[in-house]
Structure 1
Amino acid sequence: MKQLEIIFWVLLFFVFYAFLGYGMFIYIWLKIRRLFKKDLSKNEQNFEPPVTLMIASYNEKDYLPEKVENSLALDYPKDKLRIVFITDGSDDGSPQLLGSYEGITVHHSYERQGKIAAINRGMRLIDTPFVIFSDANAMLNKEAVRSIIKNYKDPKVGCVAGEKRIIKKTTDSASGAGEGIYWRYESALKKMDSELCSVVGAAGELFSVRTELYEPVEPDTILDDFVMSLRITLKGYKIAYEPGAYAIESASASIKDEMKRKVRICAGGLQSIVRLKPLLNIFRYGTLSFQYVSHRVLRWTVIPLFLLLLIPINYALHDTYGGLYTFLFIGQLIFYGAALLGWYLENRQLRLKVLFIPFYFFIMNLAVFRGFFRYVRGGQSVLWERAKRA
């Protein structure tokens, strides 16, 4: 039974560390480091190199007028900002609609091979030193381009990750509210990651790369933005985080849509771990490997399994010792009971805000199991249909 106790506390430690402990650790680490390290950053002005804003879209005609208007309104010299849409496979009239706008370049192929195949094709046509990627349904703040590009004054920066923001609505579903909370926490972690060493992967809603560092990504890659950005760190560059550049989009329209999105991400996460094997070598990549394992690998691999194992192990310890183990077991029952109640009420369009966090935490970890089996079966197509947004 003593061995079971040890196993319990080890599993509990890793669960706590993956979701909260890592953030607490690097927060303290950075506080201490700032005491001995002066801030040498400067407010650089007049850095306005040519930039391409690339939007790869598939059958997103409904979003395009707003996206075009948003892109043309960005605060950057018009003669230095090229706006390019890649609409491969779209048959909803997207290419024709985009072709009616001045200042917009459209590259279209009738063959649909997936987003990353479209980006790979589009990158061969780019001649600017920097490229900013964004999604058709994500709206950027006016200063986004300037805020991103200023980071490239540092020659060590090879990629810049913008911030993803979820529109908060009073009518949001539990999954939508949970997604908003999750991304606020992720943004805080990314800011600390960037200061410590490097952001661990960029989100496709808004990120940028040095064109010369881009290398074509395998066409069956699920998380193209994640793999694309981290391969730049393998070349010795860092991913900077720029909260002054943000993309705004609505939350998923329903539990079904959010689960669909999460399962795809988890399947892609496992694929990414395999394709980014060198990053697991802490002797070569040091702090970056530590960040990668702590922030990403644990969540996409063992942590959901640890959560599952904690339930029967905790029950056995409660049955034998009582006391603290009983308290923790009751706590688990209450937490998962709240998550299941949140799911039940959400399916009936009834919402209690107190249930949002346990509900979202539950579906986030359930998606890892489903994503694992989908990845093992090879069932996640790169030609996925975007989850509906509210």
Structure 2
Amino acid sequence: MANTLFYISLSVIWIMLLYHMFLMQGGYLHYLRFRRPIKRWEQNGIPLPKVSILIPAHNEEVVIERTLKAMIRLEYPKEKLEIVVINDNSSDRTGEIADRYAAKYPSVKVVHTKPPHAGKGKSGALNQGLKHSTGDIIVVYDADNTPERKAVYYLVLAMLNDPKAGVVVGKFRVVNAAHNLLTRFINIETICFQWMAQAGRFNWFKVTTIPGTNFAIRRSLIEQLGGWDEKALAEDTELTIRVYNSGYYIRFFPAAITWEQEPETWKVWWKQRTRWARGNQYVVLKFAGSLFSLRKKSIMFDILYFFFTYFLFFLGVIISDMLFIINLFVDLQLNIGIVAIILWILAFFLYVTEVMIALSIEKTEFTLKNILIILFMYFTYSQLWIVLVMYALFLETKRVLLREETRWYKTERFSKDKQQKEAL
């Protein structure tokens, strides 16, 4: 029995590793050609529509001014740009800072939310902002984001020239990547997500997940869908499913780049990633019952991918590790032959190869230091994710069984960002 479980677990791990290598190949192909249509799109001369940028902000005084400065510098016609800051029941100076910019710049508008319809999470704030916006296209940025000057222009350009795209998603980079070892781990993780999961799935299946920031959605579509799900901790993933099921698809267009701050302490990282894991588990369970009735069949495959990632894959890793460790002290008659050991070693090298390919796309990141960090990352950061996902599953199961109210955790911000790009 132990042998059967061990080899089943090992098989699940290898299926996921090979799938990610397949995605990485697709991501590299997308990198080689995503810029090709830009010149043709610009020559089409389609008039730019009015855009509303929604920035949900709850106690964001540390970062909101830097974000607003980046928004003011955006290269998009000012008369067609509306920047809506949703001051979501903040108890700090967020509202005061936003009001100061609104008084100085006509394009900035501030929405102050109050209880009982306030302070409940990002989705609620976005829905409030949507009500007070007037743009034909809605763009979302987190309050710690500093988009590059042409980011919004590129999001809109892709949407105007791709009528099948209900949403256009850009790329995000880590502004404080060099702060400490944790932020270096997150930087590598983020790059892999962009080029492996986002670009890879878009290249092969025309499937991309909406991130929490740096994306544009048609106003008609978000209104048709009834806005954001206020019960979802991962509102971006949940919205992704509904967008595909509406008949549209999501385009990954990495020419649109934003820089964002990532957690600088393990405590903040743990809380943020736990919310992400719980949110994605919620999405899987929410749509599991209607899996085969979804209008867009390609997204059914993606839900299965999330199921494998947040349930089977981590379960496979945990079972194989536990059996191996228990067998050191108790004879389980576990026959770990030379083939299994070779497969374990090859899995490690396959992981390293996938990550290195992703880093090679971002030329400044393919360094000897980052390569050494990748080797260390496998035995530390990646293994910690296993514990985190199991903890998140426990919390989500408890929430469902006890019918607990969903509680939103807002990621803590940090004031020192020496890595901020002055050239934005």
TM-score range, shorter chain: 0.7 to 0.9
| Residue 260 of structure 1, CA deviation | 1.2
Does residue 109 of the first structure (1) align with residue 81 of the second (2)? no
Judge which range, 22-31 or 215-224, deviates more. Answer: 22-31
Segments of 5+ residues of structure 2 without an aligned counterpart are: 31-35, 349-371, 417-424
Residues 355-390 of structure 1, C-alpha deviation per residue, up to 9 Å, x if partnerless? Answer: 233211112221111111111222684332314457
- Cα distance in 2 for partners of 1:72, 1:154 equals 27
- For 1:233 and 1:147, the matched residues in 2 are separated by 22
Q: For 2:257, which of 229, 234, 246 is the aligned residue?
A: 246
Look up the match of 1:359: 380
Moved more, 323-332 or 266-275: 323-332
C-alpha distance in 2 between matches for 1:29 and 1:60: 37
Is this contact kept in 1: 2:12–2:312, CA < 8 A? no
Are 2:89 and 2:113, in contact at CA under 8 Å, matched by a contact in 1?
yes
| 1:158, distance to aligned residue in structure 2 (A) | 0.3
Counterpart of 1:301 (choices 289, 294, 311) is: 311
Q: Does 1:73 align with 2:84?
A: no
SS of the residue corresponding to residue 301 of structure 1 reads helix
CA 323–228 in structure 1, closer or farther in 2 if over 3 Å, else same: closer
For residues 237-267 of structure 1, what are the alpha-carbon distances to aligned partners after superposition, in whole Å with 9 as ceiling and x for unaligned? 1111111112212331112211111111111
Q: Deviations over 1:216-249 (max 9, x none)?
A: 2332221112212331111111111111112212
Distance 1:330 1:62, change over 3 A: closer
RMSD: 3.0
The reply to whether residue 155 of structure 1 matches residue 152 of structure 2 is no
Contact (CA 8 Å) 1:234, 1:279: kept in 2 or not? no
- For 2:63, the equivalent position in structure 1 comes to 63
Alignment partner for residue 181 of structure 1, among 188, 200, 208?
188
Match of 2:109, SS?
strand
* Alignment match, 1:192: 200
Does residue 320 of the first structure (1) align with residue 331 of the second (2)?
Answer: no
Partner of 1:349: none
User: Conserved in 2, the CA contact under 8 Å of 1:222 and 1:268?
Assistant: yes
Q: How many residues align?
A: 362
Which residue of 1 is the match for residue 13 of structure 2?
15
Decide which moves more: 380-389 or 314-323: 314-323
The answer as to 2:135 corresponding to 1:125 is: no
Q: Pairwise mapping of residues 1-390 of structure 1 onto structure 2 (< 5 A)?
A: 5=3, 7-18=5-16, 20-26=17-23, 43-45=40-42, 46-47=45-46, 48-101=48-101, 102=105, 103-111=107-115, 112-152=119-159, 153-167=161-175, 169-173=177-181, 175-189=182-196, 190-214=198-222, 215-277=226-288, 280-281=291-292, 285-294=296-305, 296-314=306-324, 315=327, 319-320=334-335, 322-325=337-340, 353=373, 354-378=375-399, 381-389=406-414
Q: Give CA deviations for 1:48-78 in whole Å, capped at 9, x if unaligned.
A: 1111111001010121111111001001000
> In structure 2, what is the Cα distance between the partners aligned to 1:241 and 1:57?
25
Q: 1:29, 1:99 → 2: CA distance?
A: 45
Contact between 1:129 and 1:210, CA under 8 Å: does it hold in 2? yes
1:341 corresponds to which residue? Answer: none
- Percent identical: 20
TM-superposed deviation, 1:290: 2.0
Structure 1 residue 16 displacement after superposition: 2.7
TM-score normalised by structure 1 residue count: 0.83
CA distance change for structure 1 residues 264 and 321 in 2, over 3 Å: closer, same or farther?
Answer: closer
Structure 1 unaligned regions, length at least 5: 34-38, 334-351
8 Å Cα contact 1:217/1:228 also seen in 2: yes
Q: Is the 8 A contact 2:12 2:313 kept in 1?
A: yes
Q: Which is further off, 259-268 or 312-321?
A: 312-321
For the residue of structure 2 that corresponds to 1:193, the secondary structure is helix
Q: Distance in 2 between matches of 1:279 and 1:362?
A: 32
User: Which one is further off, 305-314 or 320-329?
Assistant: 320-329
